[in-house]
Amino acid sequence: MALKRPGPPGSSGSPAGPVPPDVSGSPGSPAAGDAGPAPSGEWDGLCDMYLGHLRVERGLSGNTVEAYGRDLADLRAYFAGKGLEGPARAGRGDIQGFVLHLAGKGIGPRSRARKLSAVKGFFAFLEEEGLAAADCASGVEGPKLPRPLPKALTREEAERLVVSPDLSRPGGLRNRAMFELLYAGGLRVSELSGLTLGQLNLPESYLRVRGKGSKDRLVPLGDEAASWIRRYLAEERPSQDRAGNAGALFLSARGRALSRQYVWKLITQHAALAGIRHASPHVLRHSFATHLVDGGADLRAVQAMMGHAGLGSTEIYLKTTDARLKSVHTRRHPRSGS
């Protein structure tokens, strides 16, 4: 359902939301470039139109729309306090000043980033609807947010998870081989579920993995992962691939390739059985990289095995290691002050 735009004077159309104020410089409204705060009606009309757009056309929840409204109210209060013109004539410097104002009030970087996101959406809407000559907020940079450290299992937890499948049950060998491969190769879940027999080179113990951007990389298997894959291929997969023509490496009981969601479900179920919280395929991938870096692996080698486009994505695992070492020092060293 689209919001009706106000019709021209004398038209019979009735707008679905408040009629926006005349910001064209007609008599009775401030001319473009005039100083002074905007009439409250201008803010009311434009903000109501935007929030209606979020609610009706984008289908956002009531709570989300209210949060956007609060962020726009903060912007409105800033403009009023500075005696600035209304949103239809705002400049980039006004938006930058608003962001600095938030920082000066002690508002954290994540909250500032959220408010700026709401403001950018608002001004993009005004430009799209022809209610502002230009989107003055699009080029304003938000605060740099600290990257959260990736969650990783301890070595003992990773071992418990990998060995958790019951080999006496259908799918047990497959699950063990998959878990070994996820931990030994650092694969994304989409890469694992998309593996084919043609990507596997058991004699040389490596995989050719197709990652993001359709880029191929070679991933060493390791003795344990290679051994369990051999067992799966010899003892369990033939019963899953009754027709003998499935190309996927890991199959369901019906001979179909596994979905990403199914692999995720298997990991979380086995983690719960092993008494491990917050485990997932991505946590296993982070554990692979973290434990390599802990063991002194070269960052460039880890980058290549992870399929990272740049070294910056891999360097975060150094911070994970540093954080863990500081935690150990705090808990164990007599001079740590704890």
Nearest to 298 by CA among 318, 283, 324, 282: 318
Residues involved in catalysis: 188, 212, 282, 285, 308, 317
DSSP string covering 234-255: HHTHHHH-TTS---BSSB-TTS
Q: Phi first, then psi: what are they for 261, rounded to 5°?
A: -65, -35
Three-state SS at 209: strand
DSSP string covering 73-102: HHHHHHHHHHT---GGG--HHHHHHHHHHH
Nearest to 44 by CA among 8, 87, 5: 87
Measured over the CA atoms of residue 128, residue 131, residue 132 and residue 138, the dihedral's sign is negative
Q: How far apart are the first and last CA of the chain?
A: 60
